Amino acid sequence: MPYFELTELEALIPAEWLLQALDDENSGTAEMFEAARSAAEGEINGWIGLRYLLPIDPVPPFIKDAALKLAAELCYARRGQIEQFPWTNALNVLRGNLTAPGVFARIATGEIPLYPLAAPAAGAATKSAPAVSGERSKVHTRHGSTMC
């Protein structure tokens, strides 16, 4: 199952830019769309495929969003306009860097689930954090005195 369709990418990028980025044959069609989608999905699958069976179905909304932004980045780069790409920071969070693993790596290690956890059923018992008192701790010594 593809992560996104051309019409969804068209919603992110001005139509003229998208055609310029994906029409290598000057035919008026976006013949390079499949290559852009494949590259975007490949980057995501390279990470999540370390933990999850591919293809993923259904596609979680944040994976669809990430794939769209990765494909959009390729389009901006193919057009020579990468400095105008508006989602660089968002993709940096997904990809991470040498000092902080990105969301993709954290999914691959299981730190973040691919699918959101289900909310508890209505009326179901849930664990809550223990109550915290505003009192200062007291330590009793062997000699009977109290230290705060």
pTM of the complete model: 0.76
Domain contains 143: no
Domain contains 127: no
Domain contains 36: yes
Domain contains 47: yes
Domain contains 145: no
User: DSSP assignment of 95-114, as one string?
Assistant: HB-SSSB-HHHHHHTTSS-S
| Distance between CA atoms of residues 8 and 30, nearest Å | 14
Would you state the pLDDT for residue 127?
43
Q: What residues form DSSP beta bridges with 101?
A: 96
**From start to end of 41-142, where are the E strands?**
139-140
Give, in order, the Cα–Cα distances in Å from 125 to each of 22, 92, 116, 128.
53, 38, 20, 9
Low-confidence stretches of the chain (pLDDT < 50) are 124-137
Domain range for 24: 6-108
Would you state the pLDDT for residue 123?
54
Instruction: Please count the structural domains in the chain.
Output: 1
Domain contains 43: yes
What burial class does residue 76 get, using C-beta atoms within 10 Å of its C-beta: 0-12 exposed, 13-18 middle, 19+ buried? buried
Domain contains 94: yes
Domain contains 15: yes
